[in-house]
A and B are shown apart, each in its own frame.
Chain A
Amino acid sequence: MTTVTLPGFFERLSLALRVLGDPTLAARLRDAPALPSSSSEAPRQIEERVVEKIVERPVEKVVEKTIEKIVERTRIDPEAGALHVLALLQREGRLVDFLQEDIAGAGDADVGAAARVVHAGCKKALQQYFVLEPVRGEAEGAGVVVDRGFDPQQIRLSGNVSGAPPFKGTLAHAGWRAKDVKLPDRPPSVDARVVAPAEVEIP
């Protein structure tokens, strides 16, 4: 059996806070092989006797809970989430049907009729499951100022980009940001790869 030096309480607390702020570290910790458990009992008991009870318990509890949550979130398969959205857009708006079709030879009237089905249904789905808002509230075409310390994830500069902000420019696209996502709950037993089931009509 290997002997492991176990971290003290404050070291554990600081580690927990680092995990909170760093998903990559959290993933590494989660995926690391578990320590042999038998050696952890004794030093832990000593630790608890040393540190004052009133301080330790509540703090440790809160931190552990948060870590649990992070781990749980990262466990959700991003692939399943993407497939779920695809299934919703197909169910409500037949999006996959539409995109899988070859429309090169179809007349505009037929494409237009199909587009109405897709538009009406996908719009309903979008409103039901996502709360979207523009990144910038100004009207498109209006003059805007990009402040110092702006977030390049939220604002993409184009044209004559040089020097340091603030920049003056014109809002070409107001952007979209998901304020909220409200996907229905789906148990892990659901086969996410079935985007739409085959339908068989029994006469």
Chain B
Amino acid sequence: MTSARFSIGIDLGTTNTALACAPLDANDAPAPFALDQVVAAGEHQARPLLPSFLYLPADVELPAGALALPWFADPRYCVGLFARERAASVPGRVVSSAKSWLCHAGVDRRSPLLPAGAPEDLQRLSPVEVSARILEHLVRAWDQAHPDAPLREQDVVLTVPASFDAVARALTEESAKSVGLERLTLLEEPQAALYAWVAAQGDGWRKHAKVGDLILVVDIGGGTTDFSLIEVKDEGGNLALHRVAVGEHILLGGDNMDLALAHRLKAKLEAEGRELDDWQLRALMHSCRAAKEELLEHDKKQKVPVAIPGRGSKLVGGTIRTELLREELSETLLEGFFPEVDAGARPQQAKKAGLMTLGLPYAHDAGITRHLAAFLDGRTPTKLLFNGGVTKSPLLRARIAGIVKGWLGGALELMESPELDAAVALGAAYYGRARTGKGVRIKGGASRAYYVGIERSELAVPGVAPRVDAVCIAPLGMEEGSEIELPMELGLVVGEPATFRFFASSTRREDAPASTMDPKKAELSEVAPIEATLQGPAGALVPVKLHARVTEVGTLELSAVESGTHKRHKLEFNIRVE
């Protein structure tokens, strides 16, 4: 294999994707790479962000060459800005938020599901395939500009939300490898944001951190919200960073906020007798975003006019005019998403509905500060780092910081991240180089503890399912490259799939390998079954021991090792949904 020249950071976001690169043989700061993309039918241009949208037009929809790129004369699909623009007009042919589907345990993530609501004649794609198409676009755009250093030969660091579980990480790896990104490492987004901060500080970062500091990273993107805690420790006289906790996956972000504001104004217009169609609602959402940003930036302004053009060519008279008032913004945004709550607040749990629709499991409680209180659970950060587009607003930063300060009753220092849109990609590129020895690294290991379900051998009672014990196979914080063997021996039947239930916890840090517990009492969440089929004479019983390994990529690998022959069988996640 040829040696890599760049460390590439890829922020594969829910709404936007970014790429940054850092040369491996120099100490130059990581730099963003603008991504060539179709910006309108028949036009392409490089832009700093690639919207994570995939557009699958009908054959007759566009003239030949409308989606042409320098590396692809007549593609049948398009990724990026034009795809996002088309989402309003042909919603059945545009995939958005594929990343959220990638971590949705309620669906089979390898089956063709997307776009949701696609017309009959459209060949749907799986969440894994959609992610692969977006990554492939990055490969082509990069290679076009760097024919002598193709992306597949570079060290690639791909970021994932800290709250992604082992299955979502494995699927992310699968989609990256399917487009040839073999030199791959996964990195948690909040960590990448902190690396971006370290990169911006240069060697001076040590002056801004001291042993015992606990850094809270609040990452609010377009579609997801993610929290992490990173501790500054003393390691042989040097400062070292350790990620100590990650939050649950919260499917809530800036897009939800803009939509909430748009619905509020829509209701106001309807009260005046003006109806909006879907197209206008979409336009209203765009105008609301701009109005929101203006109000958040200028705290003296009390209202911002919002105008929504009609679809026809008559603009004068066809334009609906309203305004967004500061009190509406405060009520919807501040009270709705960032309510002033006390440290003991917890998100409201969803009522179990009889039937779940096959949509994304959006957070039931929009109160981000309630989720944050539950995450901190009494812990006391000393520093706060913001990441994600939503936190660009000084007003929202002040709001969140103020609430957290109130909980602590003490000091909380704000850390400034230089470039919020690109921070994660820049930080990832920095980390890729740090792995080669140039720069500081955050230690953390597995973000969750994992458990296999093993049936208790006890007298069978008819009509009662045998009870299952959860046995810890990978403790929280298990380091990359390390492997654990469960001491207990299990008998697997050859020729038929052996299936284990599989659980996780992001809070139980005291569990050691082989700790055994009742999954319900320990409040473990079930991830997905794992299974392996041993080849050999059918019916034979083979003694095996289970092994868990955190790979260098950053994924969890489980295997069953035959006790006699030491033959290894990889256990795969079964993500089919019965």
- Do A and B interact with each other, yes or no? yes
- A binding-site residues for B, Cβ under 8 Å: 91, 94, 97-98, 100-101, 103, 106, 109-114, 116-118, 120, 182-187, 189-191, 197, 199
Indicate if the CB atoms of A117 and B68 lie closer than 8 Å. no
Indicate if the CB atoms of A106 and B316 lie closer than 8 Å. yes
Indicate if the CB atoms of A101 and B40 lie closer than 8 Å. no
Determine the chain B residues whose CB is within 8 A of the CB of A97 once the complex forms.
313-315
What's the least CB distance linking B290 to chain A, in Å? Answer: 7
The contact size tier of chain B is 20 to 34
- In whole angstroms, how far apart are the Cα atoms of A185 and B43 in the complex? 5
Classify the secondary structure of B's interface with A.
loop
- In whole angstroms, how far apart are the Cα atoms of A98 and B312 in the complex? 11
Chain A residue at minimum C-beta to C-beta distance from B81: A184
**Contact check: which of A103, A114, A199 meets B307 at CB < 8 Å?**
A114
Indicate if the CB atoms of B307 and A187 lie closer than 8 Å. no
List 5 interface pairs A-B (beta carbons < 8 Å), by A numbering: A101-B316, A114-B307, A184-B39, A186-B42, A190-B43
Among A113, A116, A183, chain B packs the most CB atoms within 10 A around the CB of A113
Known contacts A98-B316, A120-B290, A185-B45; is A114 also within 8 Å of B309 by CB? yes
- In whole angstroms, how far apart are the Cα atoms of A197 and B66 in the complex? 13
Determine the chain A residues whose CB is within 8 A of the CB of B320 once the complex forms.
113
**Contact check: which of B65, B68, B311 meets A199 at CB < 8 Å?**
B311
- In whole angstroms, how far apart are the Cα atoms of A89 and B89 in the complex? 20
Chain A residue at minimum C-beta to C-beta distance from B47: A128
B309-334 interface with A by 8 A CB criterion = 309, 311, 313-321
What's the least CB distance linking B149 to chain A, in Å? Answer: 23
Determine the chain A residues whose CB is within 8 A of the CB of B39 once the complex forms.
184
Indicate if the CB atoms of B45 and A187 lie closer than 8 Å. no
Determine the chain A residues whose CB is within 8 A of the CB of B313 once the complex forms.
97, 100-101
Indicate if the CB atoms of A117 and B315 lie closer than 8 Å. yes
Indicate if the CB atoms of B309 and A117 lie closer than 8 Å. yes
- In whole angstroms, how far apart are the Cα atoms of A33 and B63 in the complex? 36
Determine the chain B residues whose CB is within 8 A of the CB of A116 once the complex forms.
305, 307, 319, 321
- In whole angstroms, how far apart are the Cα atoms of A111 and B307 in the complex? 11
Indicate if the CB atoms of A94 and B315 lie closer than 8 Å. yes
Top 4 A-B residue pairs of the complex, sorted by shortest distance between their CB atoms: A184-B45, A113-B321, A184-B43, A190-B42
- In whole angstroms, how far apart are the Cα atoms of A114 and B307 in the complex? 7
Determine the chain B residues whose CB is within 8 A of the CB of A111 once the complex forms.
316
Known contacts A186-B42, A187-B42, A187-B68; is A103 also within 8 Å of B316 by CB? yes
What's the least CB distance linking A78 to chain B, in Å? Answer: 18
What's the least CB distance linking B321 to chain A, in Å? Answer: 4
What's the least CB distance linking A46 to chain B, in Å? Answer: 39
**Contact check: which of B41, B63, B311, B319 meets A117 at CB < 8 Å?**
B319
Indicate if the CB atoms of B44 and A185 lie closer than 8 Å. yes
- In whole angstroms, how far apart are the Cα atoms of A61 and B313 in the complex? 53
- In whole angstroms, how far apart are the Cα atoms of A91 and B42 in the complex? 13
Known contacts A114-B315, A187-B65, A189-B65; is A94 also within 8 Å of B309 by CB? yes
Q: State whether the Cβ of B522 lies closer than 8 Å to any Cβ in chain A.
A: no
- In whole angstroms, how far apart are the Cα atoms of A97 and B312 in the complex? 9
Q: State whether the Cβ of B64 lies closer than 8 Å to any Cβ in chain A.
A: yes
Determine the chain B residues whose CB is within 8 A of the CB of A113 once the complex forms.
305, 307, 316, 319-321
Chain B residue at minimum C-beta to C-beta distance from A102: B316
Given contacts A114-B309, A116-B305, A116-B319, 10 further A-B contacts (CB under 8 A): A94-B315, A97-B315, A113-B320, A117-B307, A117-B319, A118-B315, A184-B40, A190-B63, A191-B63, A197-B41
